[in-house]
Amino acid sequence: MRCLLVVASLLLGSAWSSMAAEVTVHLSDGQGHAVNDAVVMLTTDAAPATAPVPERPVTHIIDQRNETFIPYVQVLRPGDKVVFRNSDTTRHHVYSFAAIRTFEFVLRPGESSPELSMDKTGIAAVGCNIHDHMIAYLFVSAVPATTMSSHGGDAMLSHLAPGHYTAHVWHPQLHPGHPEPIQKVTIASDADVLHLAFTLSLMPDPRMSMDREHLDY
Amino acid sequence: MRCAWLLCLLGLSSSAACAQDFKLHAWLDGRLVAAPDESSWTHGGLGKTRFGNGGVDVRFGGAGLVGAAQFTPALLALAEVQFQNTDYPSMSVVEAYLRYRPVSLSRWRWSVQAGAFIPPISLENEAIGWTSPWTLTPSAINSWVGEELRAVGAEGHVEWRGDADTWELRSALFRHNDPAGNLLAIRGWSLSDLTYGLGSRLREPDAMVRQDGRQPPGRYDPFQNIGNRNGWYADLSWRAPGRGSVSLMRYDNRADPAAHSDSGVFAWHTYFWTLGATADTGPVTWITQAMDGGTVIEPLHGLQFETHFGSAFLLAGWNRGAWRPTLRIEHFSTRAPHSDPGIAQGEHGNAITAALNWRPREWLRLTAEVLRIDSVRTQRVDAGLPAASAITQIQLGIRLIY
């Protein structure tokens, strides 16, 4: 996955900035419910004309409310920074043992972590060592055409150059070992607006919000 | 003893005031019960349900308090007290332990806990107060776990956390559980949601008490040290969120079967294997568990009484948001060699439990449950009852959760 992200970013970057074509993607589960928090990427095999223009690093806030990380999934560019903010009335011990970045922060109520730079591409699962049911994902991608689905299950990628692409979808609750959901996409002109639909088979949400009945100590 | 446990709890509460994180949880349970005519084992009878003696009555289901203090990011203290009055009014400590679990920046994580805790056997009892969110009445296996099994000692826990699954190994050394197994031998299996804690006493069947030349009611403390031996258990589990889990456990209290307390309570050497699994198929959760073991006492030198026991169940719960219908079927048996005189008895039976759970609010659960048990027990003949028994218990339960 990491190699794919790096190669795709080099290939796609030049075509990114001034084009007008759009691809909209709708994601739903087997019951027809909209799927949010899915990452959608468009990659291409075409050779780049120029190197991609580096974007300014952005700092993303991962909040903790009601013993839940918000957002569940955060897309970052390499070099982006992340800050963990504790808006709960209880302590959290935020950590990750991901291959792309290991870290830990003990955060008192109201406290925020220092900025953490995410330089490598890949996926980092983030947990709380005090509350095991808390989980979030940092998706670090160098692919310019990367976005996330909204609460309506829709994602939009714009400024695309004509060409042949592959649309990739990632979600934390996809079944491990199953083939990655992909679709081939061809953009014929700058004015194209294409619509894709993915039906995802998802595992149950592993997050358990504060539940009086299930204590999870 | 009861006062001592209350003082412990108060001590924990005051210490917890200094802790950065202290949480208090509580539950209160009430029932409308159509009880079977047979006298329940909780009142000295041989009925296998929690309630008996017929009629339709409002009954107290129980109440509990759980306090958890996170003293440091790695150190947790947890204590749970419970009040019951089905047999006699009693306040007891279901669990009380300290857990140390440092953060790990690798796939491996370890923790240790020390105190009094329930061995990790049940795949059903995952809700507050060691109750089941699937049914009011847990399976025969987990009814017995709640009645007689408690570890007072220390447990080590190692996890390997993969991308898609987790492996866990737990092992504990414990004491103060030497009478465990007595109830299966002298009463047999039950289906009851009474969870006994440290400081409470279990009721023996009146027929057995009279047979021993004592006057009912006969009660004993299942959580006592007789013979100064350490018991152990080890549990290997595999969990894959969204797919299921498998657990295999060996338990052996290593009690000295010849040892007994001053009051005549014997140490029962109890050992068993238990294998359990869960699976999610769409909105349906499946839970299955099997137990096979034995328990031995040696009241006279060279004269041992051994009872083999076994049980298995299959539960299916349909997760439909606030509604959750559940169905469980199970089989149970005990068996003692014919050469054993006196207390050697055997039984076999089947049970089916149908429950409909409705949780319209986070703080409220309503449950309707029908439990049917068909069983045959030889001991019933000694008590002047037919060996076969077919009983039905119907309950409407309301549980308030704080």
pLDDT single digits (tens) B234-254: 999 999 987 899 999 999 999
Interface contact flag, A217 B163, Cβ < 8 Å:
no
Other beta carbons within 10 Å of B186: 21
**Nearest C-alpha neighbor of A135 from the set A98, A188, A90, A162:** A98
Question: What is the least distance, in Å, from the CA of A10 to any CA of chain B?
Answer: 28
- Whether B8 maps to a domain, the answer reads no
Mean pLDDT of B57-68: 97
Q: Which domain covers residue A151, as residue numbers?
A: 2-48+147-200
Gap between the Cα atoms of A166 and A156, Å rounded: 15
Mean pLDDT of A125-136: 96
Gap between the Cα atoms of A130 and A91, Å rounded: 8
- Whether B15 maps to a domain, the answer reads no
Gap between the Cα atoms of B12 and B35, Å rounded: 39
Question: What is the least distance, in Å, from the CA of A50 to any CA of chain B?
Answer: 36
Q: Do A97 and A159 reside in the same domain of the chain?
A: no
For A95, name the nearest residue in chain B, comparing CA atoms only: B105
Give the Å distances, CA to CA, from B271 to A190, A214, B250, B257, B266. Answer: 74, 30, 7, 12, 16
Q: Cis before residue A48, ω within 30 degrees of 0?
A: no
Q: Do A69 and A122 reside in the same domain of the chain?
A: yes
Q: Write out the DSSP string of A58-122.
A: -EEEEEEETTEEESSEEEE-TT-EEEEEE-SSS-EEEEEEETTEEEEEEE-TT-BPPPEE--S-E
Residue length of chain A: 217
Of the candidates B25, B241, B362, which has its C-beta nearest A215's C-beta?
B25
- Whether B264 maps to a domain, the answer reads yes
Interface contact flag, A217 B21, Cβ < 8 Å:
no
**How confident is the model over B290-343, as pLDDT tens digits?**
999 999 999 999 888 899 999 999 999 999 989 999 999 999 999 987 555 555
User: Which of A72, A105, A140 finishes a domain?
Assistant: A140
User: Which of A121, A140, A159 finishes a domain?
Assistant: A140
CATH number of the domain within which A169 lies? 2.60.40.10
Domain count for chain B: 1
**B73 Cβ neighbours under 8 A, 6+ residues apart:** A91, A93, A106, A129, A130, B103
CATH number of the domain within which A109 lies? 2.60.40.420
- Whether A167 maps to a domain, the answer reads yes
Interface contact flag, B242 A213, Cβ < 8 Å:
no
Is residue B213 pLDDT above 50, yes or no? yes
Mean pLDDT of A37-55: 73
- The rounded Cα B244 to chain-centroid distance in angstroms is 22
Select the residue from A113, A213, A216, A217 to test the B interface by mutation, using most B Cβ atoms within 10 A. A213
- Whether A213 maps to a domain, the answer reads no
Q: Cis before residue A71, ω within 30 degrees of 0?
A: yes
Q: Do A154 and A133 reside in the same domain of the chain?
A: no
Q: Do A111 and A173 reside in the same domain of the chain?
A: no
Gap between the Cα atoms of A133 and A208, Å rounded: 6
Helix residue ranges, H only, chain A: 2-12
Q: Which residues of B47-86 are buried (b: 16+ CB within 10 A; e: fewer)?
A: bbbbbbeeeeeebebbbbbbbbbbbebbebbbbbbbebeb
Select the residue from B20, B21, B123, B239 to test the A interface by mutation, using most A Cβ atoms within 10 A. B21
- Whether B358 maps to a domain, the answer reads yes
- Whether B6 maps to a domain, the answer reads no
Residue length of chain B: 402
Select the residue from B22, B28, B72, B105 to test the A interface by mutation, using most A Cβ atoms within 10 A. B105
For A90, name the nearest residue in chain B, comparing CA atoms only: B21
- Whether B93 maps to a domain, the answer reads no
Strands A193-200 and A21-29: parallel
Gap between the Cα atoms of B172 and B235, Å rounded: 9
Q: 3-state class of B208 per DSSP?
A: helix
Confidence at residue A80, expressed as pLDDT on a 0 to 100 scale: 97
ipTM: 0.86
- Whether A207 maps to a domain, the answer reads no
Residue A207 — pLDDT band, cuts 50, 70, 90?
confident
Q: Do A44 and A151 reside in the same domain of the chain?
A: yes
Gap between the Cα atoms of A119 and A113, Å rounded: 17
Per-chain mean pLDDT for chain B: 92
- Whether A154 maps to a domain, the answer reads yes
Of the candidates A106, A175, A203, which has its C-beta nearest B73's C-beta?
A106
Of the candidates B101, B103, B280, which has its C-beta nearest A104's C-beta?
B103
The reported pTM is 0.89
Gap between the Cα atoms of A119 and A97, Å rounded: 15
Per-chain mean pLDDT for chain A: 88
Interface contact flag, A95 B280, Cβ < 8 Å:
no
Chain B partners within 8 Å of A108 (Cβ): 20
Interface contact flag, A129 B103, Cβ < 8 Å:
yes
Of the candidates A106, A204, A215, which has its C-beta nearest B128's C-beta?
A215
Q: Is A108 on the interface with B (CB under 8 A)?
A: yes
Gap between the Cα atoms of B383 and B45, Å rounded: 10
Chain A partners within 8 Å of B29 (Cβ): none
The angle at the Cα of B15, spanning B9 to B18, to the nearest 5 degrees, equals 145
Question: Sheet containing A182-187: which strands, arranged edge to edge?
Answer: A146-148, A39-44, A163-170, A182-187
Select the residue from A106, A170, A212 to test the B interface by mutation, using most B Cβ atoms within 10 A. A212
Phi, psi (degrees; rounded to nearest 5) at B63: -150, 145
Chain A partners within 8 Å of B318 (Cβ): none
User: Which of A105, A140, A175 finishes a domain?
Assistant: A140
Confidence at residue A203, expressed as pLDDT on a 0 to 100 scale: 86
Domain count for chain A: 2
CATH number of the domain within which B315 lies? 2.40.160
Interface contact flag, B242 A215, Cβ < 8 Å:
no
